[in-house]
Amino acid sequence: MECFCGCGTKVSRKLADAGFTAAQVGLELLAWDKARTTSPLSVPVEAESLIARGADCYQRLIAAIHGDDGPDPVPASEAWLEDSFEARRDRRDMTTTGSLLSRPRLTLTELDYAELNRLRPELSFSANSPTPEAGETERADEDPVAQLKGLGKLHAAGALTDEEFAEAKARVIARLG
């Protein structure tokens, strides 16, 4: 088995659990990043801290595979995976539903896998999102007033339901605090 990060390092039997767990965490992060990039209004603010925790778990797993002698990252990563499974259990855009006893399966396509950034899977899609160039003024979607005005226009045009509008507005306001 080779390291999930794509470096070509052979994963020893002793570190096989870390290798398999890194692959699972990496794919979960890919799915979360796809969701927040393709439909940002559907990803709750709390998911950002979940993604950040997962990214930390992933980096610790990769470090262990590459020889870091720190504490075993597998238990914390498995706990994160359980949190991630639970957070996306009812998300049809990310999950194929199974039975109550089985874990929800990711709905990723071959094109999604092609976007995978093996060093930073939490940035697989969002790293390709447009960002302001040096010296550019702040993007409208980063300006809370402009963002709220834009949401208001989408709501008035019928592109957002009352519930979606209220949720998106709450997320913008939550980022201010």
pLDDT tens-digit series, residues 137-159: 333 345 677 777 777 776 676 66
Higher model confidence: residue 41 or residue 93?
Answer: 93
Burial letters 11-27, b for 16+ CB under 10 A, else e? beeebebbbebbbbbbb
Higher model confidence: residue 18 or residue 143?
Answer: 18
Clarify whether residues 88 and 145 are in a common domain. no
Clarify whether residues 150 and 63 are in a common domain. no
Clarify whether residues 108 and 136 are in a common domain. no
Residue 84: CB atoms within 10 Å = 26
Domain that holds residue 168: 132-177
The tally of domains found in the chain comes to 2
Please answer whether residues 25 and 80 qualify as being in contact, where contact means their C-beta atoms are separated by less than 8 angstroms. yes
Clarify whether residues 38 and 69 are in a common domain. yes
Alpha-carbon distances, residue 85 vs 24, 33, 41, 63, 170 (angstroms): 11, 15, 20, 24, 24
Higher model confidence: residue 144 or residue 2?
Answer: 2
Can you tell me the mean pLDDT for 77-88?
A: 93
